[in-house]
Amino acid sequence: GGGGGGDDAEYGQHDIEIIAEINDAARLTVQQIVAQARKLAADGADVIDIGCDPHADRSAWSGIGGVVMELCARGHRVSVDSFHPAEVAMACAAGAELVLSVNASNCEMASDWGAEVVVIPDDPRDPRYLVNLGSTVDRLHKDGVKFRIDPVIEPIGFGFSASLARYLEVRRKFPDAAMMMGIANITELTGADSAGINALLVGFCQEIDIHSVLTTEVINWAQSSVREISVARRMMHFAVMNRILPKDIKEALVLLRDKRLHCHDKDEFAGLAARLTDKNIRIYADVVRHKLHAMSMKRHVIGDDPFLVFDELEIDDPSHAFYLGYEMAKAMTAITLGKNYIQDEALDWGFLTRDEVSHYERRKGKSK
């Protein structure tokens, strides 16, 4: 359904660009990079970022030009993440449109690259960081180089809250400047499901007009970050522009649990069982009381151990046993997490849901 105030027709617009980094790209083959880029773009990435070795005191990766050319030829927009001047020059010559990053140490080279650059503070913790950032920005203005500013977000426990304040300070000092946030510094370095973190940080970006975010999908718990941000940018754009809360909108980042739980009291289950007139077994999950119900006209078994419930059903047909075991496993997952379970339907995992062909549909298909 629609949101609590906005016009549904606008839903789906967004103004936050997703830059998705392929880490340690030099260690991968061109084929591996192309495959990763294809997946990231399909998931919602606008720009593919070629992540290089962070140390500049090494020989340049000579293959970077070929990789950038290959990606551009396949229609990808490309950025390069390197402080190595020769590497950056090769990438830009091959078609990279954005360089991460520049500060006072390398900003004078930027005019040679012909690309937009991301400006970061020389030392984010220096109390004079804004002044230094201003000098870099002035230099880029003078040289006619397009830029966006990233005040650099720090991991939790290492200056996270102070770094959020920097984004607000930079926005106040440069009200019209384009800005970027590297969200992966939090998702990759916080042991929590990434969807909520991505939603929160994208919401922050939406409020202060940060129109690009950098992310990556290295750690397992953040492996769907690009898709999460892709949903979050639509949700947050709709919520902020319409001044409504980012809930009960068209999409949600509720993956683990369901938005609303359909609860039944004990008597309802007994009533259901009493009305059955055939021997087909129905499975229900009483999520509130953590009980599994299996019922037909012959019996109504209740328990919290699916093995004991199954034993009481006295099933001897192997395919029927497999079917009931599969359904009970889904019901137990629903009970564990507080989700809705409906027999023969997939559990709802948001955009991660895998559609299921029901037992009934399969049988119908076989009998044709």
Instruction: Calculate the dihedral angle through the C-alpha atoms of 53, 58, 63, 68, rounding to the nearest 10 degrees.
Output: 50
Which tens digit of pLDDT belongs to each residue from 286-322? 999 999 999 999 899 999 999 999 999 999 999 999 9
State how far the Cα of 115 lies from the Cα of 95, in Å rounded to an integer: 9
Backbone angles phi, psi at 43, to 5 degrees: -80, -10
The pLDDT value recorded for residue 55 is 75
Q: Is the pTM of this model over 0.85?
A: yes
What confidence tens digit (pLDDT) does each residue in 36-50 have? 999 999 999 999 999
Reported as a pLDDT band with limits 50, 70 and 90, residue 368 is low
pLDDT at position 3, please? 38
Q: What is the C-alpha to C-alpha distance for residues 297 and 218, in angstroms, rounded to an integer?
A: 52
Residues 6+ apart with CB under 8 A from 96: 50, 68, 78, 79, 80, 88, 115
DSSP state of 295: E
Given a cut of 50, is residue 2 above it in pLDDT? no
From the candidate CATH numbers 3.40.50.300, 3.20.20.20, 3.40.50.720, 3.30.2350.10, the one assigned to the domain spanning 12-242: 3.20.20.20
The total number of residues written for the chain in this structure: 368
Mean pLDDT, the chain, as a whole number? 93
Residue 4: the pLDDT is 42
Q: How far apart are CA 259 and CA 247, in angstroms?
A: 9
Tell me the per-residue pLDDT of 323-335, one tens digit each, with 9 for 90 and over.
999 999 999 999 9
CB 334 within 8 A of CB 291: no
Q: Where are the domains of the chain?
A: 12-242, 266-367
Alpha-carbon dihedral sign for residues 142, 47, 187, 30 = negative
26 to 50, 87, 92: CA distances (angstroms): 9, 11, 16
**Confidence bin at 9 (pLDDT 50/70/90):** very low
User: How sure is the predictor about 87, in pLDDT bands with cuts at 50, 70 and 90?
Assistant: very high
In contact, 66 and 95? CB cutoff 8 Å: no
- Look up residue 308 and give its two tokens: 């004991």
Mean pLDDT along residues 213-230: 97
Q: What is the pLDDT of residue 1?
A: 31
Using pLDDT thresholds of 50, 70 and 90, give the confidence band for residue 57. confident
pLDDT at 363 over 90: no
